[in-house]
Amino acid sequence: QTQSPKKQWSLQDFEIGKPLGKGKFGRVYLAREAKSKYIVALKVIFKEQLEKYKIQHQLKREMEIQSGLRHPNILRLYGWFHDSERIFLILEYAHGGELYRELRKRGFLSENKAATYILSLAQALAFCHEKDVIHRDIKPENLLLDHEGRLKIADFGWSVQSRAKRRTMCGTLDYLAPEMVENKAHDYAVDNWTLGILCYEFLYGVPPFEAENQTDTFRRIMNVDLSFPSTPCVSTEAKDLILRLLVKDSSKRLSLQKIMEHPWIVKNADPTS
């Protein structure tokens, strides 16, 4: 047949290295494929965890989605295998680690880096939306950097293949769009809102609606209670893009295509990454 038969991987094929972090439902380790010496990230998920949260089907669907999603700004899933109690995901290793760490280390990013990351995200999301995939969990912890500093969207723990569905609230609320906070039906535009949140956070070091508690964060999101600090100094064009994304009416948010053509992006983003 035309397709080379899928190689059946097993744990014996890999030398396990240091822990890289804790993803959803499991730990991730640096690993090296014994024959090729190829470095990967190996994610270990316990089957009883999947049974407990009844998301076996979600992982299965995820694997189908992932094998079709090939984009320079989306972390690759090379394959998977399982033993009696665990499922192993063979992932691309992002040598630059979590974008989050870079943001925390520097406090805030240059307009060039911020614009480059927003452009990469818009391109990756446009690609996903063509494939009818909404990621819906775009936040700094799920963004990784490769050895060239190129952004990679990672953990697809909550992506869905079809039209938008209800999502259980989990993790921080800072990135949730008003329609999600109101638990209304939502569509792809949630990702555009999140790009606005991320653009603000890249440039100021904190998400725009941060508050002491969830109730205040909810209220600030619902009122789109947005203000720009006087420092760090941020260009008017950058603020213009943020203001065109953090719009309550999802139909009025700047489209991914318009983001890619926005003057601030055209002027500041490095198109090659």
Residues annotated as catalytic (active site), given as ranges: 137
Of the candidates 202, 211, 271, the one whose C-alpha atom is nearest the C-alpha of residue 239 is 202
Alpha carbon of 103 to those of 119, 136, 171, 199: distances in Å? 17, 21, 19, 12
Q: How far is the CB of 32 from ligand AK5 (least distance, A)?
A: 13
Report which residue's Cβ sits closest to ligand AK5.
23
Q: How far is the CB of 219 from ligand AK5 (least distance, A)?
A: 32
Query: Rounded distance, CA 163 to CA 53, Å?
Result: 22
Residue 67, Cβ neighbours under 10 Å: how many? 14
Query: Rounded distance, CA 34 to CA 151, Å?
Result: 27
Nearer residue to ligand AK5 within complex by CB, 94 or 241: 94
Query: Rounded distance, CA 29 to CA 48, Å?
Result: 20
Q: How far is the CB of 89 from ligand AK5 (least distance, A)?
A: 6
Cβ atoms of residues 111 and 203 within 8 Å? yes
Query: Rounded distance, CA 124 to CA 261, Å?
Result: 15
Binding site for ligand AK5 (CB under 6 A): 20-21, 23-25, 28, 41, 43, 45, 55, 58-59, 62, 66, 75, 77, 89, 91, 93-94, 97-98, 144, 154-157
Nearer residue to ligand AK5 within complex by CB, 50 or 259: 50
Q: How far is the CB of 180 from ligand AK5 (least distance, A)?
A: 19
Nearer residue to ligand AK5 within complex by CB, 93 or 204: 93
Nearer residue to ligand AK5 within complex by CB, 23 or 207: 23
Residue bearing tokens 């499922």? 87
Those residues with Cβ within 8 angstroms of residue 31's Cβ, 6 or more apart along the chain or in another chain: 14, 15, 16, 17, 39, 40, 41, 42
Nearer residue to ligand AK5 within complex by CB, 93 or 188: 93
Q: How far is the CB of 142 from ligand AK5 (least distance, A)?
A: 8
Query: Rounded distance, CA 42 to CA 28, Å?
Result: 5
